[in-house]
Chains A and B, each alone.
Chain A
């Protein structure tokens, strides 16, 4: 007992001394939709982010021993009021200096304008892809490791131009994601000289899409671009089109990428193609190994982006020399982009050392991070085509 007491006091003293010397702890908010439509992938995303923070702590080289501790908040993905409240609590009560999140585009915009900007807290979202966020009023506080869908629209338009398809009909799921992607695609495609005969939304969760397909078929086009979800209206639209023989070729956005789609629709999808954000290379391999070693599933959607977002927060703090919001906001772009020594997942310790010695780094991370424009990932996309009932990679763009 005496020993225990002694030990406890000693630890307390040590802790106190530590605190006096280094300011001990910096909190980082992890705001993701732990409940709601994305609840199946957010636990892995949260773990991915916390993996990076843990790595920073374990390296022992982070800002003379400041410990980064994650605080989770629930964005719900769809309820802007709930997400704002959660973020508000994290910022004012827990005192987080930076936010890794949020996940869905709608709530991310809400948290940004209601909490992050008024409090001057920077945010790095791993998964918000709406083009509208590129132009959001952010005072330089918003970054994302996921590419904007504006980019995907351009990539798709490029592919169509290469394939010499000049006339398509477009259908999109009636929400921020679908509308954003459809608009950016249409703009890029028309600029490249193509024609969109009709851009019509569809509602998810309906049983019958024959009326929608009828209108699109009447408008005509060489192919039908579907920007929806693979298990929702997007699939329904393709099914209805196959049933009526309206279109033979489908152009698919990232939401349509899924094995179930091919299993259900089979041979009729032959020759259709699309894009999906994809990363490959040394960084991805490193992360896969790192994640697998920690019992994480690296293939789950946006886990890599989450790791990168959290790693960028830590690196920006190190580059700024202090664990503050200001340091993060000012240094994210510096550490993410060239010039500097390339940093892969698992090399955060090395990066801290370089930064401590006044050097520069270029964080590559799990997804080949390159922040462009207002601080969003350039993103690389996999152009796939359906061949023999399987997705086949054509190229990376």
Chain B
């Protein structure tokens, strides 16, 4: 019984939040890694693109809600995602046409692209705040929980409760679907293969007749889709506030770099590594150990490795350690 209690506590406070957060980071990191692999720069505007994409989803959600559309127990935002993707894709393709293409034609160095993307970041930043403001927005509806702590306790008779939010379940399911679709696309379609070829060796790809502009366009489209899905899931599961999306940049980049920049599989692994480190290192293990260990060994202290104030430092630490010891990341991406 004690062992079950330990397991439930662990699942409730570490596993479930970690998996949901990891999936959101993985989707974000996939976008970063694709841009890095194909356009060859670190896109600092990624977080604010997410904010913009989520904003469009929110606006469409409100529109649908005012029409009385709903998905029953699921959030209406799911319906709005395709429309959000269209809006975001339009914005990104427009930016590429007006900004990035100019620098590509000049064969600018990657660092110039990074600086340019910071400029783009500020502009997106402004657009989002101009349209929706800087405040927190709520757009979730439908059933909030799949399992509630109280119901779980009554059901199982355990001392500890377990909650599973609809948004957490949704996050994981959606992430799996999106990632599967992405990998299928990269491995089995002509465009996907040309993207991988372009990423591996640009000159060879050009020689074999792959149109770079086409590859770039498709990349932006895919990134738009990933960004909107990731942003919407994060917003549904947590809260939407443009500034927190900007802050997400750090864990997202940490995930992409840990996994290996340019490696899609690495981005996913990296997302989970970062998420579980953040949650696990700052978690106070007292309760879990108290259940799992015999009474004589039960800890008095909190057994917390790092106070939660340092949560964001964990991403930094991982970033530094990986860059020092394995600059190409876990899955052999490009070195930074």
Contact = CB atoms under 8 A, between A and B. Distances in A.
Contacts of A210: 13, 17, 21, 279
A203 B244 CA distance: 12
Interface in A189-212: 198, 200-203, 205-208, 210-212
Residue among A231, A244, A246 with most chain B CB within 10 A: A244
Interface string A225-266: 000000100001001000111100000000000000000100
B302 A198 contact: yes
B288 interface: yes
Given A211-B282, A218-B283, A244 B136 contact: no
Interface in A162-186: 174
A269 to B, nearest CB: 15
Residue among B148, B285, B309 with most chain A CB within 10 A: B309
A218 B300 CA distance: 12
Contacts of B308: 200, 202, 211-212, 215
B46 interface: no
Contacts of B148: 245
B10 to A, nearest CB: 10
B279 A207 contact: no
A245 B244 contact: no
B12 interface: yes
Contacts of A205: 241, 243-244
A19 interface: no
B149 A215 contact: no
B238 interface: yes
Contacts of A243: 163, 165
A271 to B, nearest CB: 14
A23 interface: no
A198 B17 CA distance: 21
Interface in B155-181: 161-163, 165
B150 to A, nearest CB: 7
A214 interface: yes
Given A198-B302, A243-B163, A211 B241 contact: no
Q: What is the size category of the interface that chain B forms with chain A?
A: 35 or more
Contacts of B152: 245
Contacts of A201: 309
A219 interface: yes
Contacts of A211: 17, 278-279, 282-283, 308, 311
B109 interface: no
Nearest to A232: B136
Contacts of A53: none
A220 interface: yes
A344 interface: no
Contacts of A264: 138
A252 B110 CA distance: 51
Contacts of A212: 308
A218 B311 contact: no
Contacts of A45: none
A208 B302 contact: no
B189 interface: no
A245 B165 CA distance: 11
A217 interface: yes
Contacts of B244: 205-207
A214 B304 CA distance: 11
Given A205-B244, A211-B311, A236-B239, A217 B13 contact: yes
B216 interface: no
A175 to B, nearest CB: 12
B160 to A, nearest CB: 9
A218 B285 contact: yes
Residue among B21, B284, B309, B311 with most chain A CB within 10 A: B284
A371 to B, nearest CB: 36
B307 interface: yes
B302 A245 contact: no
Given A208-B21, A218-B288, A244 B283 contact: no
A214 B161 contact: no
B39 to A, nearest CB: 28
A127 to B, nearest CB: 23
B285 A244 contact: no
A124 B290 CA distance: 52
A66 to B, nearest CB: 46
A195 B136 CA distance: 35
A244 B20 CA distance: 13
Nearest to B168: A243
Given A203-B309, A207-B234, A211-B311, A217 B241 contact: no
B334 interface: no
Nearest to A248: B150
Given A174-B309, A200-B307, A205-B244, A245 B282 contact: no
B286 A218 contact: yes
B14 interface: yes
Contacts of B234: 207
Contacts of B217: none
B287 interface: yes
Contact of A245 (B17, B163, B287): B163
Interface of B: 9, 12-14, 17, 21, 136, 138, 148-150, 152, 161-163, 165, 234, 238-241, 243-244, 247, 278-279, 282-288, 302, 304, 307-309, 311
Closest 4 CB pairs of A and B: A245-B149, A218-B284, A214-B13, A207-B244
Given A208-B238, A214-B283, A218-B288, 12 more contacts: A198-B284, A198-B302, A211-B278, A211-B308, A213-B13, A214-B17, A217-B287, A218-B302, A244-B13, A244-B149, A244-B163, A245-B163
6 contacts: A198-B284, A205-B241, A215-B282, A218-B13, A218-B288, A245-B12
